[in-house]
Chain A
């Protein structure tokens, strides 16, 4: 009997695997393959090692010429198919060869997406998809090594392929920049924490990573070759080659032209059959149950199904859960399944900061549904297996995250982060005591907190590092040491506020994801409690470099107004020292009329509050107020609110000093600064205290001989008179004392902890000692405040009138009722 004829279009990894299965089943088709590439079958997954120089083309061949000959398979290399006639059951090659088939398999694969940027046809712009691409890159890399300065490569795309290309080119000695459109690398496969680690790892190998980088055009050197790229934000990056690695698109032209159903890919059913009888498709060119795949595992599963069906064994492919592993030397990264958060899901997070390890498992109904592993990914396949099998993990849930080898095993050590600190890391900022000093004190027999304090002075001043000193004791002494309980910042961490602040300083942590990683946060992106706290601590620690994390601020600090119970806002313009003028009052009156503001109220802080403003009106109102000279009064801020004053020597017959002038001066000096909680101040011109300075966070009582500086009062939830910090002879001295004590509070206060609570925690004597007795220390606090003010004093209302954060002030879409009834039916 004559064998049936099987024709395969394409010779990638998927048909290669299918052939192996067919041969295993001893089924004899008369097989003909048409391959557009002039090569035998090779392992495309191994392109990265070829690029980095670890392997050669010969190493990655899976089926050589002999194999085809031995198995009696007719392979036409460099012979693309031009057309298929499904009626006559024939294929015709570009060279005019006609072959008829009984069964046809289309495996045309995919092609890299080329973004049609201006300049994309220039010499030196390439993709990263097949061996020809790798050859081109290797040629450039060789030229780079031969030239004096390394040549520069820009890789567009921070996904799997782009990063592998970037790592390979860097390995070859080129100077590489990765441009990624989104704000984190591999955002489809990784959560933000793992992305951050990945991007750090690339930076360490001198690959520059630019995120939010939208390329505008590729620049011509003048001779048709590329010389660099320009981003939409104006940045220019020089480049000798530009590699586009932004994704793949199923190659479907042939199928489409032959009348086979094509959507994004060639549409196949669960048996891998297209809409035409006896025509099958597999690999990256297909679309199965609405999904197109670009990873190898699903392709192999498809190949198995199709081989079975061609052998007459009924078999179904039902889609794949995919796992991704980044194939870059020294970076261990594995991601599988679905790792989005969800109400019905739980997560287990393990962070080992010292080893750079991050693992996150997502569970649902006691089953593993997603995993991200970074730094130590050897358990990836084991997790993936549990995930695919839908295995019930409740039995070993406690130890699941430690991986296969640790079932029933180890406990986490809470002192790990302390252990990882170097000996010269500063623990006690007040007394300049490093970890090494504390460790040697413990080792020489000082095994209690008091003994360590007495020996080293660590934690003996403000006491905010007490928790850390205790953790060092726990780390050195283990169970012998019983630490006092620390109240954690929130459920996301076991560290308290003091520990977090000290570790940010000691480990020089600079972003929220970095803090969460290094301090082993238990959740992937924190919560509404810890994120604003971390944001403040970083703003305070790195005023010049830290980029404020907008999404970690409460709404009032995002829109610079106060939200009210009905969702409208109130605003309070700044009136320095509580003084105003006819011009200002007229401007306020005009705004109230123009925008029909329902309520106008004089506040307790000597300001005018306008309430009931629609969010969309905020910016136009600020524009009008700004024209009259008003800036934001920060009535919404965890920051300096108001400085109340009385009229002092200007008018009052009892006045002893220019209290209004001093109040205005303090306010102009300190406005715009962020603090742990709100800060309200007042200056009274005499001890009759008309501006009520003795229940403020900071108050000044003017007397004949100068100024009495008070602090730590409250008249809210708690009522508390101020304490006297000290006496100043001059305005300058008073200002220095006030600024210094506020800065000390800024550096030590827990987020949302008012000044009076901070002072009772740290102790009045300690604060007095540092501010009034230690003049050097006071000067340093003052200088640090002044330095941070250089960046802080920008009026947020003016910025928003100029267009900043415009999206915050208008709805995304407003759909009218008329339009709702004429909606387009999408599917």
Chain B
């Protein structure tokens, strides 16, 4: 997947996501959680806990992780990997910020939906 083939989809303003908070986006049928950390990094991962499908975007954000609201699994926002003793992984998506707007890189999704 080359850089050129990523399509950047504008999602909204940086400030639409509260610090240490999250928002959900719906892209076709997929739900993606957007998270903003204490140090103002934005991450996007599939909004579906690898454990039992809980909506991660409803969890508490701390460091670069989110704790799932259903059973407290801790998921890395960077890699999508479950932390600690739990095993599992969710998809993560590239994000870029330009002019205080958030863009999601969507080439893979695009291929799938095409």
Which A positions have Cβ atoms within 8 angstroms of B? 183, 187, 191-192, 339-344, 523-528, 531-532, 550-552, 554-556, 558-559, 563, 565-567, 807, 811-817, 820-821, 823-827
Question: Chain B residues near A554 (CB, 8 Å)?
Answer: 60, 69
Taking A563-B69, A813-B11 as contacts, is the C-beta distance between A551 and B39 under 8 angstroms? no
Provide 19 A-B residue pairs closer than 8 Å at the C-beta atoms, listed in order of the A residue: A340-B64, A341-B39, A343-B76, A344-B78, A523-B63, A552-B20, A554-B69, A565-B70, A566-B53, A567-B53, A807-B23, A812-B24, A814-B25, A815-B9, A815-B26, A821-B114, A823-B7, A827-B3, A827-B6
B20 lies within 8 A of A551 (CB): yes
CA distance A341 to B79 in the complex (A): 12
Q: Which residue of B lies closest to A567 (CB)?
A: B55
CA distance A550 to B81 in the complex (A): 26
Interface set, chain B 10-39, CB cutoff 8 A to A: 10-12, 16-21, 23-29, 34, 37-39
Question: Chain A residues near B23 (CB, 8 Å)?
Answer: 807, 811-812
Question: Chain B residues near A551 (CB, 8 Å)?
Answer: 18-21, 60-61
For the complex, is B95 an interface residue (Cβ under 8 Å from A)?
A: no
Closest chain-B Cβ to A186's Cβ sits at a distance in Å of: 12
CA distance A820 to B26 in the complex (A): 11
B38 lies within 8 A of A555 (CB): no
CA distance A554 to B76 in the complex (A): 18
Interface set, chain B 48-74, CB cutoff 8 A to A: 52-55, 58-65, 67, 69-70, 72, 74
B7 lies within 8 A of A341 (CB): no
B69 lies within 8 A of A826 (CB): no
A341 lies within 8 A of B63 (CB): yes
For the complex, is B40 an interface residue (Cβ under 8 Å from A)?
A: yes
- The total of chain B residues at the interface (CB under 8 A) is 56
B58 lies within 8 A of A341 (CB): no
Q: Which residue of A lies closest to B77 (CB)?
A: A343
Taking A523-B63, A528-B62, A826-B8 as contacts, is the C-beta distance between A340 and B20 under 8 angstroms? no
A192 lies within 8 A of B9 (CB): no
Taking A812-B11, A814-B25, A820-B113 as contacts, is the C-beta distance between A527 and B39 under 8 angstroms? no
Taking A191-B38, A823-B110 as contacts, is the C-beta distance between A525 and B63 under 8 angstroms? yes
Taking A812-B12, A815-B28 as contacts, is the C-beta distance between A567 and B54 under 8 angstroms? yes
CA distance A340 to B76 in the complex (A): 13
CA distance A341 to B64 in the complex (A): 5
Question: Chain A residues near B69 (CB, 8 Å)?
Answer: 554-556, 563
CA distance A230 to B19 in the complex (A): 25
B113 lies within 8 A of A817 (CB): yes
Q: Which residue of A lies closest to B60 (CB)?
A: A528
CA distance A825 to B62 in the complex (A): 33
Question: Chain B residues near A341 (CB, 8 Å)?
Answer: 37-39, 63-64
6 more contacts with CB within 8 A, not counting A527-B63, A528-B74, A815-B28, are: A528-B60, A555-B59, A559-B58, A820-B27, A820-B28, A826-B7
Give the interface centre of B10, B27, B67, B103 by most chain A CB atoms within 10 Å: B27
A815 lies within 8 A of B27 (CB): yes
Question: Chain B residues near A559 (CB, 8 Å)?
Answer: 58
Question: Chain A residues near B20 (CB, 8 Å)?
Answer: 525, 551-552
Closest chain-A Cβ to B82's Cβ sits at a distance in Å of: 11
B67 lies within 8 A of A528 (CB): yes
A550 lies within 8 A of B62 (CB): no
Closest chain-B Cβ to A815's Cβ sits at a distance in Å of: 5
Q: Which residue of B lies closest to A340 (CB)?
A: B39
Partner of B62, one of A343, A527, A807, A827: A527
A340 lies within 8 A of B58 (CB): no
Give the interface centre of B25, B52, B58, B72 by most chain A CB atoms within 10 Å: B58
B62 lies within 8 A of A525 (CB): yes
Closest chain-B Cβ to A343's Cβ sits at a distance in Å of: 4
CA distance A222 to B71 in the complex (A): 62
Question: Chain B residues near A527 (CB, 8 Å)?
Answer: 62-63, 67
CA distance A467 to B82 in the complex (A): 35
For the complex, is B87 an interface residue (Cβ under 8 Å from A)?
A: no
Question: Chain A residues near B109 (CB, 8 Å)?
Answer: 820
Question: Chain B residues near A565 (CB, 8 Å)?
Answer: 52, 54, 70
B79 lies within 8 A of A343 (CB): yes
CA distance A527 to B72 in the complex (A): 11
B24 lies within 8 A of A811 (CB): yes
Question: Chain B residues near A552 (CB, 8 Å)?
Answer: 20, 60
Question: Chain B residues near A817 (CB, 8 Å)?
Answer: 28-29, 113
A813 lies within 8 A of B39 (CB): no
Partner of A524, one of B3, B8, B19, B63: B63
Partner of B4, one of A558, A823, A827: A827
Question: Chain B residues near A556 (CB, 8 Å)?
Answer: 69
B38 lies within 8 A of A524 (CB): yes
B34 lies within 8 A of A821 (CB): no
Closest chain-A Cβ to B111's Cβ sits at a distance in Å of: 11
Question: Chain B residues near A524 (CB, 8 Å)?
Answer: 38, 63
Closest chain-B Cβ to A106's Cβ sits at a distance in Å of: 26
CA distance A344 to B54 in the complex (A): 24
Give the interface centre of A814, A816, A820, A824 by most chain B CB atoms within 10 Å: A820
CA distance A115 to B110 in the complex (A): 39
Q: Which residue of B lies closest to A513 (CB)?
A: B38
CA distance A551 to B60 in the complex (A): 7
Question: Chain B residues near A183 (CB, 8 Å)?
Answer: 19
Question: Chain B residues near A827 (CB, 8 Å)?
Answer: 3-4, 6, 8
Question: Chain A residues near B55 (CB, 8 Å)?
Answer: 563, 567
Partner of A531, one of B18, B52, B60: B60
Sorted nearest first, the 8 A-B pairs with minimum C-beta distance are: A826-B8, A528-B67, A551-B20, A812-B23, A341-B63, A555-B58, A343-B76, A341-B64
A825 lies within 8 A of B76 (CB): no
B81 lies within 8 A of A343 (CB): yes
Closest chain-B Cβ to A394's Cβ sits at a distance in Å of: 22
Closest chain-A Cβ to B27's Cβ sits at a distance in Å of: 5
A821 lies within 8 A of B17 (CB): no
